Structure 1
Amino acid sequence: MWRSAGNLVFVLLSAYALMCLYLYFNQSGMLYLPGYGGANKQATPADAGLVYEELQLVTDDALQLHAWYVPARQARGVILFCHGNAGTIADRLATLELLNELGFAVLIFDYRGYGRSDGEPSEQGTYHDAEAAWQYLRARDYAADEIVIMGRSLGAAVAAQLADRHTPAALVLESSFTSVPDVAAQLYPLLPVRLLSRFSYNTLERLPRIQAPLLIVHSRDDEIIPYSHGRRLFQAANEPKQFLPLKGGHNDAIYVSGIDYYRRGLDEFFQRYVDGV
């Protein structure tokens, strides 16, 4: 009996150890999902009726990133958009169209290893990629106070890091997490994920240092990144700040809440903190 019990304990401990090893070595494949997404990868802003420029941004470590610049007539400014972890810029045409309707030019780029961009994704790599986008806009004669940095999901963490390095006109974080280890601890409560995590993306740590006006957008029903993450980020941030609550899931909250509601929330924030600055 004791031998059987010992064998069972050994099997359980071995399975636990294998799960830990899997999570440790497969983190990049779980976090970065460039092949995921429902869009036609050949789609361009022209498919949404938008004029655009196709760009190749060059990072400070000499990688080329695929990007689009979408101008706007009598633009209120420009939005540097950092997309989420799944899919490519081809999956974000609806976002480009909405931001263009709000009167903003938009620069959107694919991280390294995504779409037609060089390299393989990594945390530091995504930070370099966002910096390349910022430097492109500055070289295009946009002043820092004309640039809004906006990020969604994983892209919100990238956007926050960029806003910690520079001072944009404003920062918009959608469906953002406090940090990768915090999310992992909720998904895998029985595993030592904080010890295993090779990624940080610690937005909670950065927000108290950021001085730009902040809008946090988060759904009460988000099944991937709980609403509590958005509230903790809001509480940690400096004034001025606003919170736009949504309803619906992580990937459909904008539509469940209503496009007009979402658009109005963004517009009111931009009117208060970006227009006329």
Structure 2
Amino acid sequence: MPIAGRLALLAGVALALISVAGCAPLGRLSPTHYWERTSLFQPNKYPAGEWNQTTVLVEDAYFGAADGTKLHGWYVRNPQPKAHALVMHGNAGNVTLMAETIRTLNHRHQLSVLALDYRGYGRSEGTPSEAGILQDARAARRWLAKKEGIAEQDVLLMGQSLGGGVAVDLAASDGARGLVLAGTFTSIPDVAQHHVSWLPMKRLLTTKMDSISKIKNYRGPLLLAHGDADEVIPYQQGLDLFNAAASTDKRMITNFGGKHNDPLPDEYRQALDQFIAKLPPLSTQQTAVATGEEIVTER
């Protein structure tokens, strides 16, 4: 079921349960907690997906989150990278859906790329939650920085939809060499409110992903793209997020007629090339590629 339909179902369940319980949701004690989690996070666990890729040669990256959760991602090295990108996908599927994106970023845009599967997705262990996937992104950034021999703040953060919210949190909290967002929301309750206008979703939902508040704390380069026919996350939320960003070096690309999962136009690709070319220099000199991580190459 599409996320909009799931949110509507969630709202109906929330209203029924709250009227029975007679209390406001309180984190895990919330009567909507289970329904909220299963509506927002729709992972495909391994072996679901096309894991034997032919369009891009990937390496399996294995690393652990701070709480010990074992995580997985796909890594592709560029011998002369213009930047080093951590890429975070949306709320459904797993990293295999990003094969073409990884190939394009690596070949056309000349990036070294790590695409993360959050906990519970693909080969990553655990169960997804807001706090958990934010922790996963930090672990992935740390792995990529060590692998490429750069500082963690020199990683380029890229996120689509839910992954955009994860990227905003990481950039706003710790900084980044650059931030690239596509189809990203102002907050999860704002998305829910758009689809279910007759319920107070900010009060009901325990998952916040409050990107519009967080992005005010990020001052680095920003490139944001959004389709003006996005049926999942309204185009206005993309505009609001862009306007709220404190960065003085920011640009927004409108995908005219584009829906949530439609390919981005060539204008975006050109803008991304320009964005990468203007990124600030690395804060530290690159060192030898780190060793000691568990890396298995798949051909």
2:118 is the alignment partner of 1:108: no
Deviation at 1:144, TM superposition (A): 3.9
Counterpart among 120, 132, 142 of residue 125 in structure 1: 132
Deviation at 1:244, TM superposition (A): 1.1
* Structure 2: unaligned runs, 5 residues or longer: 1-11, 20-30, 284-299
* Aligned 8 A contact 2:154 2:282 in 1: no
Counterpart among 241, 248, 251 of residue 261 in structure 2: 251
Deviation at 1:220, TM superposition (A): 0.9
Structure 2 matches for 1:23-172, cutoff 5 A?
A: 25-35=34-44, 41-44=49-52, 46-48=53-55, 50-100=56-106, 101-140=108-147, 141-144=149-152, 146-172=154-180
Give 2:215's aligned residue: 207
CA distance in 2, matches of 1:57, 1:15: 37
CA distance in 2, matches of 1:203, 1:226: 14
Deviation at 1:53, TM superposition (A): 1.8
CA distance in 1, matches of 2:73, 2:159: 15
CA deviations over 1:132-161 (Å, ceiling 9, x no partner): 011112322123454100000000000011
SS in 1 for 2:114: strand
Deviation at 1:188, TM superposition (A): 0.7
Once the two structures are overlaid, the 10-residue window that deviates more, 244-253 or 198-207, is 244-253
* Aligned 8 A contact 1:68 1:107 in 2: yes
Counterpart code for 2:16: L
Deviation >6 Å, runs of 4+: none
SS in 1 for 2:251: strand
Structural RMSD (CA): 2.3
* Aligned 8 A contact 1:20 1:191 in 2: no
Counterpart code for 1:196: L
SS in 2 for 1:26: helix
Deviation at 1:174, TM superposition (A): 0.8
* Aligned 8 A contact 1:78 1:148 in 2: yes
Q: With structure 2 as the length reference, what TM-score do the two structures score?
A: 0.80
SS in 2 for 1:108: strand
Q: How many residues align?
A: 256
Deviation at 1:74, TM superposition (A): 1.1
Deviation at 1:15, TM superposition (A): 8.5
CA distance in 2, matches of 1:20, 1:35: 30
Residues 269 and 198 of structure 1, relative CA distance in 2, 3 Å threshold: same
CA deviations over 1:201-259 (Å, ceiling 9, x no partner): 000001111121111111111111011111111111121111111131100142xxx3x
* Structure 1: unaligned runs, 5 residues or longer: 1-13
* Aligned 8 A contact 2:50 2:96 in 1: yes
Give 1:198's aligned residue: 206
Residues 195 and 263 of structure 1, relative CA distance in 2, 3 Å threshold: same
Once the two structures are overlaid, the 10-residue window that deviates more, 167-176 or 134-143, is 134-143
Once the two structures are overlaid, the 10-residue window that deviates more, 157-166 or 138-147, is 138-147
Q: With structure 1 as the length reference, what TM-score do the two structures score?
A: 0.86
Residues 17 and 226 of structure 1, relative CA distance in 2, 3 Å threshold: closer
Counterpart code for 1:230: G
CA distance in 1, matches of 2:79, 2:16: 56
Greater relative contact order, per chain length (Cα 8 Å cut-off, separation 6+): 2
CA distance in 1, matches of 2:162, 2:128: 12
